[in-house]
Structure 1
Amino acid sequence: MMVRSQFFTSDEAEPVMVENADGKGEVLLVCEHASRTLPARFGTLGLGDDVRTSHIAWDPGALDVTRLLSKSLDATIIYQNYSRLIYDCNRPPESTSAMPVTSEIFDIPGNRDLSDAERFARTSALYVPFHDRISDLISERKAAGRNTVLVTMHSFTPIYHGAHREVEIGILHDADSRLADAMLDNAGDTAFNVQRNEPYGPQDGVTHTLRLHALPNGLLNVMIEVRNDLIRDEEGQRAAADVLDGLLRRAIAVHGL
């Protein structure tokens, strides 16, 4: 039987995954909501299969698009290997959304009445190593004289609280809009409905990773949201990745990188 302090079983994967670690491109791709996997100790969190595979547990298609961009841009990827229902790594520990009791219309029984010890355990096991790895990689690249452009990758549901979302790709930014501005300057040439800070914006607390890593280091940065019904299959994923590749390349070039 596992003791309480043992967060993962011996055969479970590490929470932080890195792909194309030796990539030579300027872009560092981060995918906080890449997986719907729950650590074994949490069982189902009291949720049915339909909820645990839905958008509240992860960002469907986001990692697939991220991997395509990694290939085209020769970019390193860092992603979280467990569901945001256990800990949302795009939220600070003090946020109620970090370990949500409800998400959209769904209650999450396994997250009710968490003790301080349990919150600390989740933060230590998931949030801290994830963001430490991002910080370390940025520092390593800086020491090697390399530029870093931080791009976080997400997907969103086409229907939220019963309302249909017309936006197809969101280009999100916090206080530093340099890269987002340059991407949006060319977005009118795409076949997608591309909008600024939609369907979320910094007022919703979604730019935590950018605030934590990009803003203090003066890095060009952007958060990208793709509507998940558009990236359900390989054809859709490639179409989105091709458009994002073009927008990123032109925007980065504008800034002389």
Structure 2
Amino acid sequence: MTGLLSEADGLPVAVDNPDAEGLVLLVCEHASRRLPEKYGTLGLSPEALSSHIAWDPGALAVSRLLSVSLDATLIHQRFSRLVYDCNRPPEAEAAMPAVSEIFDIPGNSAISHDERRARTEALYQPFRDKLSSFIAERKQAGRPPVLVTMHSFTPVYHGLQREVEIGILHDEDTRLADAMLAAAGKNKKYIVRRNEPYGPADGVTHTLIEHGLKNGLPNVMIEVRNDLISNDGGQRVMADYLTDLLGESLKELSQ
């Protein structure tokens, strides 16, 4: 363990289904609301620590169901994005935010250069290295993966209701997003939109750029409104829908 993570904390990165035969590599950067022992509560209330600012509720559960249905490897971060947001590069202020939505984060106020480096080395770098090595091994084996990152978002943001239910996000490579949006257009089960409620201008495509674009891999980020995946039933319904959507889209890309 590093000086930041204790033995009780364990490793920062988890890998489910490492020997999967499917094409898809699932990534969940905001899987957990857990904080390393060293940080206590970061000065936050239980309400804040259970809210969306700490993690993406439901995202890991849906990812795990997709890992089974798609026979996909899943790589996820084991600690809260409040300590380090693994979908942001180290130089980004949002990697270790002092404010998130309506909450001030006292434990992230005026972080020193040394502290930023310690968090980067303990949490971001192992996550980045695990993704990089997995992709490199798959490419060397002649099985380059398709990168799919899983997220969730709040139904209400700064007092405004969000109509979109599923966002299909992309950066410069639109191949997989285009195929998914076309497939979703045939099935009106959900309100599915391109680059909503976030897009590249919001700085949310770091993982897609770093591990998808730079490796020439088809890639997409899926955002699901978290009220739709707040329980087991909703998670299973969503996973079934996304399994079908991805399956149809991957077939389209392979033609």
TM-score normalized with structure 2 length = 0.98
Residue type at the aligned position of 2:177: A
Residue type at the aligned position of 2:208: L
Q: Where in structure 1 are there 5+ consecutive unaligned residues?
A: none
2:81 corresponds in structure 1 to: 84
2:181 corresponds in structure 1 to: 184
2:127 corresponds in structure 1 to: 130
How far is 1:190 from its partner?
3.7
2:210 corresponds in structure 1 to: 212
Write the mapping of 1:1-257 to structure 2, written as runs, cut at 5 A: 6-188=3-185, 189-256=187-254
1-side partners of 2:122 and 2:83: how far apart? 10
Q: Where in structure 2 are there 5+ consecutive unaligned residues?
A: none
Residue type at the aligned position of 2:163: E
2-side partners of 1:11 and 1:110: how far apart? 21
How far is 1:12 from its partner?
1.4
How far is 1:9 from its partner?
1.3
Q: Percent identity?
A: 63
Q: How big is each residue's C-alpha offset from its partner over 1:225-254, in whole Å with a ceiling of 9 and x where there is no partner?
A: 000001011110011111111111111111
2-side partners of 1:66 and 1:12: how far apart? 22
SS in 1 for 2:93: coil
Across the aligned residues of Structure 1 and Structure 2, the Cα RMSD in angstroms comes to: 1.1
How far is 1:147 from its partner?
2.6
2-side partners of 1:253 and 1:220: how far apart? 13
How far is 1:215 from its partner?
0.3
